[in-house]
Amino acid sequence: MLHAHYLTCDLDGLHPRFSWKISTDLPNAMQQAYHLEVCADGFLHDSGEVFTDQSIFVAYCGSPLHYAAVYSWRVRVCVNDAWSEWSDYAAFETALEKWQAPFIQADDAPGESCAKIFRREITLRKPVQSARVYATALGLYDLQINGRAVTDTCFNPGWSAYQKRVLYQTFDPTPYLSNGKNTLEATVAPGWYKGDLGFVQSRNLYGDKMAFAAQIDITYTDGSAETILTDESWQFADSPIVYTEIYHGETYDARRENPTHWQPATLMPAPAFAVEPFDGVPVRRQEVFAPIAFFTTPKGERVLDFGQNLTGWVAFHVSGNAGDQVILRHAEALDSEGNFYTDNLRHARCTDTYILGGGSEKIYQPRFTFHGFRYVALDAYPGDIDPARFEAVALYSDMEKTGDFECSEPLINQLQKNITWGLRGNFLDIPTDCPQRDERMGWTGDAQVFIPTAAYLYDVRVFFKKWLRDLALEQYPDGGVPYVVPDIIRLDPKLDFEHSSCGWGDAAVIVPWALYQAYGDARLLANQYASMRGWVEYIRARANNNLWNTGYHYADWVALDAKEGSCHGATPTDLCATAYYAYSTSLLAKAAAALGNDADAVKYRSLHADIVQAYQQEFFTPTGRLAAHTQTAHILSLVFDLTPDAFISRTIGTLVQLIADNGGHLVTGFLGTPHFCHALSQNNRLAEAYALLQREEYPSWLYQVKAGATTIWEHMDGIKPDGTLWSAEMNSFNHYAYGAIGDWLYTVVAGITPTEPGYKRIKIAPQPGGTLTHARATLRTPYGTLESAWEIKDEKFSLRVIIPPNTTAEVRLPNGEVHTVGSGTYVYAGEK
């Protein structure tokens, strides 16, 4: 059995790239050739037989394609001298050549938080063959035709660098159109564009009026066509969504449904930003949770517990009289006395209100807000409360789940689930820091420490490609990188922040390189290369004798070794900054080499060597003592290869002693914690790494699990053993950064790493340890599913691996045996 399947197309303008996976029972299966066809009405591109083993990101090489057109493609492959049958067809669609629809506005004032409905009626007098809607908004929108939702995606058009580009979505409305009169309606809400945004209660950062724009292309069965644009023929009215804000929630007044007072829309002046096709991953409704408990707190609050901290909203059934209300407040945690805890939300009200219009039972859920919550307080509800009438709906970008990990220790399995839910809760169109308080911004530091883990859990290539595009657009002319992307800090007149902290700005280099390693997408790396280079040159212009000792830095943020009342860890900022300067420069040199830029590769390898020399002279004594006596200083020196060879033994020994000095615990922050176990396992201290992972006492990863966490906390001491909580000013219970330990579970415990970008070549080298008796990880790579599963039983070690077609692997057993294999399933056994 041999066939190509899981066909995907990566579209960049009129330049598609094709990828496929091979399914075969043949051992050592390697693609020798492919044959690809692309077709449309009256068009056919036939590649012929192309002899290559490339099966991902194969560039289209045919005649020029057309804009706003739908194409089908298929492929067959030759593997081990045998040709497969043709695959099923897959489709892709090209974007508009240029955006032409004007933006239309309503009468919303700068301080208003209501939603508006834009409407136009059209009459179709001929049967429709096909149609397309291209739509966008300044704000958030959803779209209906004849009262039916055109899409199941949420939070359109997404959050981008609005001052530079606004994105549009493409929908197929053909099933919703009928002969005769049709009503087009778009509801637009303030969203990220003009609503409350940031942690100092600012609004209108991008603009003070919502707007909507759309192009509807209709092709009739007789071959004629028609285009409808937003213009002054459209009307607007007030929506029954009388209040809606990302942070504060939504109020829906069912008594105001079916508005009758419509006014003419006005044209907005031509915008300065570009309108571009959506290039991210749409947000959709995902898992649904029923309450696991309904109780009354000591303060008398009626509370539903959904059992999982998630990002989303609550849907419910309700009936009653006109004017009756349902009021829901959302929270992540209960306080030490068991009461509903919202202090950590800061100014975010996180409250949804539904005002009944009377009549039969209704089902309601919000549309333009989201909350981070596990608990919901029912401040008002008509009649008796039946928990079965409520459900929590998780919302996040609709990425493919690619990785799974499980082992013999239930607490570690729960930790893995918590890491996954930390990703889900914060990957809502952009990688946010947290989903619950008045922040929810795309902090660069959080993204760079978590990206290796994220790439194991989900296919995040397209998700981060969009975000990196905005990072590059918002990069300062001198190469500096904002703290957050999109960069609302720069736009907020209430803030006087700097930019370009070490470990935060380094996302410009670290994230593209991690994506290249995980997916093998050289085009993405090339597109980001100028941004990567700009960041390193920004640092170089500010470094003194190759030491980055200028500027403001978050450094080892929220480390437990910080002074009382401070978020800055004890590790000196110039050490952290210079370490990251060296690391980013080394990755830039590798990126240059990967892209064939030999001159830059030589240049940045030389610069990296100079930075390492300066670091060693500045921070190591002649006898090998590291000047900063902190865990993070030793971790960064080890994992970034900054330690002189002669001093590695002393450095790792001191790190182990620092763990012992702190009772076997970590006291690291954002920069040290993600690399801690790697620093140990890479330097023959595997036992200590497992001990750190499996520590159950406060503070530790598993302490959070035993405390009932279902996501990753912002602080290792978010809830202390006595039940007291960290400062409410900054205490998220869904903050993925410390979930970066997930990378270690895959790369060390399961032993899975790519040795060629995209897992074309693979290393599987599990390192059993701790109390684990088995572990298993699967990863859906660009070539197919990879598996590493080991077990220790009766002092015997066994390993089962599955290698996908069109790849090769080096399998290293704990006893030192090495096997080089092609695709297939292999089982190895031996002594422990």
Peptide bond preceding 157: is omega within 30 degrees of 0, i.e. cis?
yes
Residue 142's beta-bridge partner residues? 187
CB 71 within 8 A of CB 40: yes
Of 501, 511, 513, give the one whose Cα is nearest residue 548.
501
CB 87 within 8 A of CB 75: yes
d(CA 100, CA 738): 45
Count CB-CB contacts under 10 A for residue 552.
13
Of 183, 179, 180, 28, give the one whose Cα is nearest residue 824.
28
DSSP 621-675: -TTS-BSS-SHHHHHHHHHTT-S-GGGHHHHHHHHHHHHHHTTT-----TTTGGG
Region for 716 from its dihedrals, namely left if φ exceeds 0, alpha if ψ lies in -120 to 50, beta otherwise: alpha
d(CA 610, CA 540): 11
Which are the contacts of 119, defined by CB distance < 8 A and separation ≥ 6? 183, 184, 185, 186, 234, 235, 236, 237, 262
CB 143 within 8 A of CB 119: no
For 6, counting Cβ atoms within 10 Å of its Cβ (0-12 exposed, 13-18 middle, 19+ buried), the class is middle
For 219, counting Cβ atoms within 10 Å of its Cβ (0-12 exposed, 13-18 middle, 19+ buried), the class is middle
Q: Radius of gyration over alpha carbons of the chain, in Å?
A: 28
Which are the contacts of 269, defined by CB distance < 8 A and separation ≥ 6? none
Q: What is the largest CA-CA distance in the chain?
A: 88
Place of tokens 């045919």: 62
What are the C-alpha distances in Å from 643 to residues 249, 586, 650, 683, 790? 51, 15, 10, 12, 33
CB 738 within 8 A of CB 450: no
d(CA 55, CA 64): 22
Place of tokens 């590493």: 788
d(CA 115, CA 352): 15
DSSP 184-225: EEEEEE-HHHHS-BTTTTB--SS-SS-EEEEEEEEEETTS-E
Indicate the SS3 state at residue 527: helix
For 135, counting Cβ atoms within 10 Å of its Cβ (0-12 exposed, 13-18 middle, 19+ buried), the class is buried
Output the CA angle 428-434-440, nearest 5 degrees: 70
What are the C-alpha distances in Å from 824 to residues 24, 25, 754, 807, 808? 9, 8, 17, 10, 10
Indicate the SS3 state at residue 777: strand
Which are the contacts of 804, defined by CB distance < 8 A and separation ≥ 6? 21, 22, 759, 781, 783, 784, 785, 786, 823
Q: Which residues have a catalytic role annotated?
A: 439, 714
Q: How many CA atoms lie within 13 A of 443 on its CB side?
A: 22
Residue 326's beta-bridge partner residues? 354
CB 726 within 8 A of CB 698: no
